[in-house]
Amino acid sequence: MNRIENLHSNVFSQRNVELFEKNIMFLAVGGFIIHLLLIFFENYYGVDIFSSKTNLSSNPISALYTPFTFILIYEAFLLIYYLPRSFTTSIAKEFEIISLVLIRKIFKDIPEISLESTTIFNENNLQLLYDLLAVIVIFYLIHLFKKTWVNTPKRKTNKNLKKFINYKKLMSILLVPTLLVLCFINFYEWLIQVFISESYTENLNGVFFIDFFTILILVDVFILLISFQYTERYSQLIRNTGFIISTILLRLSFSAEGLYSIMLTILGVVFGLIILRIYKLAEENY
C-alpha cells in the first residue's frame, strides 16, 4: 500500500500536473493557430485540406474546435487525477466534460446556421438551439450537483477506507498510460476523418470520448465491486451504482444523434443529481 501511495504521489506530483497543464496550453494555442492557417489557405487559395464531410473549414469560428479538444483532454486527465478522492468528485468531472463536449460541438456547428427567413427553422438551426439550451440546463444541474455534495454529511476516514482509496489510486495510475494510448489512437483516427476520408460514418464529436467513457464504466464497476469489501451501507452502494448508470447514459449519448443525444445527456446528469439528493437525505437521517 505504501508503494502505491508513493507511486501515485510521484505520477501526480504538483510538478507533473503543472507540466501537463503547461503542455496542453501550448498545444491548444498552437492547434488554434494552425487550424486558422489551414482555414485561410483552404478558403483563399482553394486548397482542399479538410474532408468535405466536415465543416471545420467553413468559418474561422470553427478553429475554436481544436483548442477545446485539447482542453477536454486536460479535463479527462483531471478526472483521473480526482478519481481517488471520491466517486462523487469523479462523476462531477464527467458532467463537466460532457458540457464542454457540447460547447465544442456548438463552435463546430455555428458556421452552418442559416439566417435566411425562409430557412430559419431548418434542421441545423434547431439543433444549434437544442445544444445551446442543453449547455445552460447542464451547467445549472452541475451547480446543483456540487451544491448538494458540499452539503452532504461527510464521514471520518477509517483504516478500511484508506485501503479502498489506495485501490482507487492504483486505478488512476493505470489510467494514465491508457489515456495516452487512447489519445494517440484516436488522434490518428481523427486525422483520417478530418483530412482524408470522404465517407466516414462515425460521430466526429464521439472520437476519443466513446472509448474513454467505456473505460470509465469498467473502472467504476471495478471500484464498486471493491467497495463491497469495505462498506455495507446500502445508501452508499446505491449511490455508487446510480453514478455508474449515469455514466452509461452519458456514454450512450455519444452513440445517439440530434435531440436523442441531448436527451440522454441531460437524463444522465439528472439521474446522477437525483441519486445524490436521495443519498444526502439518507446520510442526514443515519
DSSP 13: -
pLDDT in the model for residue 201: 47
Q: What is the count of structural domains for the chain?
A: 1
* Average pLDDT across the chain, whole number: 83
Tell me what percent of the residues of the chain surpass a pLDDT of 90.
Answer: 21
pLDDT class of 138 with cuts at 50, 70, 90: very high
Q: What angle do CA 39, 258, 264 make, to 5 degrees?
A: 125
Measured distance CA(187)–CA(206) in Å, rounded:
12
Of the two residues 1 and 218, the one the predictor is more confident about is 218
pLDDT in the model for residue 246: 94
Give me the mean pLDDT over the 114-125 stretch.
72
Give me the mean pLDDT over the 14-30 stretch.
90
pLDDT in the model for residue 224: 85
- Determine which helix (DSSP H) or strand (DSSP E) holds 224, and give its type and residue range: helix 209-227
- Determine which helix (DSSP H) or strand (DSSP E) holds 231, and give its type and residue range: none
pLDDT class of 152 with cuts at 50, 70, 90: confident
Domain that holds residue 215: 2-284
**Neighbour-count burial of 20, counting CB atoms closer than 10 A to its CB (0-12 exposed, 13-18 middle, 19+ buried):** middle
Of the two residues 269 and 11, the one the predictor is more confident about is 269
Give me the mean pLDDT over the 242-257 stretch.
90
Q: pLDDT (tens digit, 9 = 90+) per residue, 157-170?
A: 566 677 788 888 88
**Neighbour-count burial of 39, counting CB atoms closer than 10 A to its CB (0-12 exposed, 13-18 middle, 19+ buried):** buried
CB 52 within 8 A of CB 60: no
pLDDT in the model for residue 155: 66
pLDDT in the model for residue 53: 57
pLDDT in the model for residue 268: 94
Locate 269 and state its grid cell: 446528469
pLDDT in the model for residue 92: 92
pLDDT in the model for residue 142: 95
Cell 441519486 maps to which residue?
275
CB 280 within 8 A of CB 146: no
Q: pLDDT (tens digit, 9 = 90+) per residue, 199-239?
A: 554 566 667 788 888 888 988 888 888 888 777 778 888 99
Give me the mean pLDDT over the 238-261 stretch.
89
Measured distance CA(45)–CA(271) in Å, rounded:
50
* Residue from 220, 222, 204, 212 nearest 179 by CA: 212
Q: pLDDT (tens digit, 9 = 90+) per residue, 25-84?
A: 998 999 889 888 888 877 776 666 665 556 666 677 777 888 888 888 888 888 898 888
